């Protein structure tokens, strides 16, 4: 786990980052199948110059609830594979996987830096109780910003998107990019699109939303993975099918937005109760 990294001036080594998202239809309970697909798509994006790649929530196993504890035993090997690819291809890779605990698991977003090391991890704080996540998963208890070779990255997972306090915490800790990893259903696709843009605009940072597509039993997933600027501009968006999307994001826009409209500097916390 990485600490709640406070961003310091000079950490960002570059201004332009080629960010990418892999939107895929996850095969539930089949980590080897999903891993094979993801490895091919990572290699494809690397050939296009990607430096930062996001994967959806629980991308290796899906929400195979009845077997998620057993499937969590595959996560160390999946992380080893991600580490090898990151180092070989000079990539930062971020995705959510089941992390084994006692009797239950955490839904954990891992950040693998371009040297193959795990730069940090975030355990999903807000479990989606309407689908019974709280019966199978343990909640995390803190916001996490990780220092990476492309700059400070904050982490959120799916339902977390509905809690603006969490994203604001990431912004105040110095995140310039927030990665949102999700399995967001199509019936609430409007919420996904609106909330991604809202979190980007109100915190004046880049939001990268990696969602799954396809269907799992009677649930159809929204896809529509997106890369959104601090001004709320959509720099790339997928449809509802498997897709690779990318955009060159200019991190200097974070400073520009915050100087032109100093929302964060002009907060009045004591007035908010």
pLDDT in tens, 155-200: 999 999 999 999 999 999 999 999 999 999 999 999 999 999 999 9
Would 32 be classed as within a structural domain?
yes
**Average pLDDT over all residues of the chain:** 94
Q: Does the active-site annotation cover 158?
A: yes
User: What pLDDT is recorded for position 103?
Assistant: 87
Q: Which domain holds residue 179?
A: 16-263
For residues 262 and 251, the answer to whether their CB atoms sit within 8 Å is no
E-only strand ranges, the chain: 16-23, 52-54, 92-100, 105-112, 118-123, 137-138, 145-148, 151-157, 177-182, 206-211, 215-216, 219-220, 226-228, 234-237, 243-250
The two tokens of residue 95 are 């995705």
Distance CA 160, CA 163 (A): 5
Residue 2 is assigned to a structural domain of this protein? no
Residue at 6 is within a domain: no
133 is catalytic: no
Contact residues for 76 (Cβ-Cβ < 8 A; gap 6+): none
* Selected catalytic residue, list 146, 158, 167, 213: 158
| Residues 203-237: tens digit of each pLDDT | 999 999 999 999 998 999 999 999 999 999 999 99
Q: What are the residues whose beta carbons fall under 8 Å from the beta carbon of 36, sequence distance 6 or more? A: none
- Encode 109-126: b = buried (16+ Cβ within 10 Å), e = exposed: bbbbbbebebbbbbbbbb
For the chain, what is the domain count?
1
Task: Kindly state whether residue 270 falls inside one of the protein's structural domains.
Answer: no
Asked if pLDDT for residue 127 goes beyond 70, the answer is yes
Question: Is residue 269 a part of any domain in this protein?
Answer: no
- The domain spanning residue 65 has which CATH number? 3.60.110.10
Looking at 18, 28, 57, 147, which residue is catalytic?
57
Which residue among 100, 124, 147, 193 is the active-site one?
Answer: 124
């Amino acid at each position: 786990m990485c600490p709640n990294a406070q961003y310091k001036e000079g950490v960002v080594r570059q201004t332009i980052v080629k960010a990418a998202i892999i939107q895929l239809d996850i095969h539930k309970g089949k980590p080897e199948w999903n891993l094979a697909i993801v490895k091919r798509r990572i290699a494809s994006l690397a050939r296009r110059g990607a430096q930062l790649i996001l994967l959806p929530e629980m991308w290796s196993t899906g929400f195979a609830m009845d077997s998620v504890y057993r499937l969590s035993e595959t996560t160390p090997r999946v992380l080893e594979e991600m580490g090898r690819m990151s180092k070989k291809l000079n990539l930062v890779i971020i995705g959510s996987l089941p992390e084994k605990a006692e009797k239950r698991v955490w839904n954990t977003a891992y950040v693998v830096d371009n040297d193959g090391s795990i730069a940090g991890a975030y355990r999903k704080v807000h479990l989606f109780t309407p689908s019974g996540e709280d019966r199978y998963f343990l909640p995390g208890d803190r916001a996490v910003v990780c220092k990476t070779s492309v700059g400070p990255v904050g982490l959120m997972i799916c339902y977390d998107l509905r809690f603006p306090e969490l994203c604001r915490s990431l912004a105040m800790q110095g995140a310039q990019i927030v990665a949102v990893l999700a399995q967001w259903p199509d019936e609430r696709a409007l919420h996904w699109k609106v909330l991604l843009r809202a979190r980007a605009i109100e915190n004046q940072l880049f939001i990268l939303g990696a969602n799954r597509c396809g269907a799992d039993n009677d649930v159809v997933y929204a896809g529509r993975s997106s890369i959104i600027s601090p001004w709320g501009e959509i720099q790339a968006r997928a449809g509802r099918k498997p897709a690779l999307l990318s955009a060159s994001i200019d991190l200097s826009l974070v400073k520009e937005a915050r100087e032109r409209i100093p929302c964060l500097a002009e907060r009045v916390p004591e007035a908010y109760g």
